[in-house]
Each structure stands twice: as C-alpha cells, then as structure tokens.
C-alpha cells in the first residue's frame, strides 16, 4: 500500500504492540454486555486515551459483534489544524499495531462528488487522534471492513448539514456504519461536567440533531466533536434509523480518581432496534 497514514499515538494513547492492544480492547469489551437487536446504522464514541475512554467506547463497539459492515465511515473533529469543510485522507489506509485499515477509494470518491465540502487534506490527519482512537475497536470487531476517514474543520451548521446529507446519499446502498468521534465537556468539576454533558445526552436520546446543533451554538464547549455528531445523527436519520440509545456515560475521573477537572465520555447507537 502507498501513502499509508502512520499511527500518531500508538504506544502513548494506546498500547503499541498488537498483543497488548488486543488484550486491552478485549478487556474493555468484556465489561460491555448490553445487547440490542435490529439494524445498526451509527455509533457515537469517545476518543481519549484508551485507558480513560475505552471502558465507555466499548459499550458502543460491542454492538458490532455478530454484525457485518463493508465500510465504516469515521467522522471526528480536528484538534490541530484549522480549515473549512471536511478533510479526507488522500492515501490508501491508516496503520495501527493491528495492521492497515484500508481506505475505501470508491466510497471516498463518491463522497467528494456528492458535496464540495469534502476535500483531500493530508495535514489535517497527520497528528489527529480522534479517528485513530476508534480504529483499535473497529479493526478488532470488523477486521474486513474498509474505512472512510473524515476530519471536520470549523464545525459550522452548514458543514454538519451538508456532510450528513452527503453521507446519506452515498451510503444508502452500502452495508455501512457511520461513527461520530467526540468527547464531551473538558476540565470542569464532575458535577458541572455532568450537567453540561446531560444536554448532549438528552439530544442524542431524543434523536434530535437540530436540538444538538442549537445547544452547540449556545455553548460550544458541550462537545469537541459536536459537529461530527450532528452530521452523523442527521445521516443516520436519513438512512432510515428510527431509534437512538445512550449506552453509557462516564468521565475521566472514574479512572483517575480526580473529580476536580474531568472530561466527559458518551457511547450511543442509532438504528432501528427491536
């Protein structure tokens, strides 16, 4: 494969060898046992270091057991590069200790045709962890799936809406899963964080992307990946999902023991569930 995006945080944010990473991912998955039947369309999962957000992310990813997807679209925020629109990585794959997750060139090309906001932008991906932190779970549970890695720059309402519409247009004829990567509020005490994060959780539970967009305009600190979450919720609705379920909420203090300045984490799923 040519032009593979090398792992930026392996060995720091998550284990740097395949055996150690498999053990860590499997340990988190073992504690997440809730089963939901029906058609799964989208997930929301956090992207902090695996020891902190992995226990929450596992509640979303364990739903991939006994389900098959051909392509997984990952949508996360840009933490390091400022730009308009949505950045697609212009290469053949993303590397982790599990190997290379291959990019779906056909799906990526169709997405760029569907909307001018999606453009190739390698620099936006070079250091970005929001998508990389999803890959250990994706590769462990859907090893045969291709990926489409998307990083959102300025999280405007127009960008979120256009991306959601384009994803629905391109993915409706595919066996696809769409994943929003987001953490919630940052560095408040746990009680303040829980109040801020409840606003996001309530919008997700109501399957209300427009309500979440309004909340983010009023208070952007609710979620670093708020725009990606709005886009994914919108796409999921257009792809036929009827239900949205919050699976787990926690904060970094549940691991560190420090409740004075925490980061909130949410796991959720959207689809048509029995």
The owner of tokens 């392996």 is 10
Domain extent listing, the chain? 4-179+195-256
The dihedrals phi and psi of 5, each to the nearest 5 degrees, come to: -75, 120
pLDDT at 15: 98
Decide which of 3.30.420.10, 3.40.830.10, 3.30.230.10, 3.40.50.720 is the CATH code for 4-179+195-256: 3.40.830.10
CA distance linking residue 199 with residue 215, whole number of Å:
7
CB atoms within 10 A of CB 33: 9
CA distances from 151 to 129, 130, 144 (A): 10, 8, 22
Antiparallel, parallel or unpaired: β 176-181 and 38-45: parallel
Residue 47 three-state SS:
coil
Please provide residue 21's backbone torsions phi and psi, each rounded to the nearest 5 degrees.
Answer: -65, -40
From CA 214, how far away is CA 274, in angstroms rounded? 30
Encode pLDDT of 109-130 as tens digits.
Answer: 999 999 999 999 999 999 999 9
Lookup: tokens for 197: 């994060």
pLDDT of the residue at 1 = 57
Q: How far apart (Å, rounded) are the C-alpha atoms in residues 182 and 98?
A: 23
The residue ranges of the chain whose pLDDT is under 50 are: none
- φ/ψ of residue 252, rounded to 5: -60, -25
The pLDDT of residue 149 is 99
- pLDDT at residue 2 in the model: 73
**Surface-to-core class of residue 251, CB atoms within 10 Å of its CB (0-12 exposed, 13-18 middle, 19+ buried):** buried
CA-based end-to-end distance of the chain: 41
Query: How confident is the model over 42-62, as pLDDT tens digits?
Result: 999 999 999 999 999 999 999
Q: How many Cβ atoms sit within 10 Å of the Cβ of residue 82?
A: 8
Q: What is the pLDDT of residues 147-162, one digit of tens each?
A: 999 999 999 999 999 9
Neighbours of 35 (CB within 10 A): 8
How far, in Å, CA of 83 to CA of 60, rounded? 29
* Rounded Cα distance, 160 and 153, in Å: 10
- pLDDT for position 220: 78
Q: Are 96 and 10 in contact (CB under 8 A)?
A: yes
């Amino acid at each position: 494969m040519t032009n593979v995006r090398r792992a930026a945080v392996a060995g720091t944010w998550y284990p740097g060898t395949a055996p150690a990473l498999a053990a860590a991912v499997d340990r988190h998955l073992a504690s997440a046992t809730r089963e939901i039947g029906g058609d799964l369309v989208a997930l929301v999962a956090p992207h902090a270091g695996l020891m902190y957000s992995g226990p929450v992310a596992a509640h979303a990813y364990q739903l991939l057991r006994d389900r098959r997807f051909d392509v997984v679209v990952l949508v996360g925020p840009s933490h390091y590069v400022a730009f308009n629109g949505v950045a697609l990585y212009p290469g053949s794959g993303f590397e982790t200790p599990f190997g290379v997750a291959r990019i779906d060139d056909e799906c990526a090309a169709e997405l760029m045709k569907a909307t001018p906001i999606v453009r190739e932008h390698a620099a936006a991906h070079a250091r970005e962890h929001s998508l990389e932190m999803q890959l250990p779970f994706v590769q462990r549970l859907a090893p045969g799936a291709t990926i489409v890695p998307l990083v959102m720059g300025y999280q405007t309402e127009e960008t979120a809406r256009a991306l959601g519409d384009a994803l629905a247009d391109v993915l409706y004829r595919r066996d696809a899963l769409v994943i929003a990567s987001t953490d919630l509020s940052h560095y408040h005490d746990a009680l303040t964080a829980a109040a801020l994060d409840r606003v996001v959780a309530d919008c997700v539970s109501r399957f209300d992307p427009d309500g979440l967009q309004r909340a983010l305009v009023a208070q952007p600190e609710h979620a670093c990946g708020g725009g990606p979450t709005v886009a994914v919720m919108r796409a999921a609705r257009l792809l036929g999902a009827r239900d949205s379920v919050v699976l787990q909420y926690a904060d970094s203090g549940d691991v560190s023991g420090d409740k004075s300045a925490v980061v909130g984490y949410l796991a959720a799923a959207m689809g048509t569930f029995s």
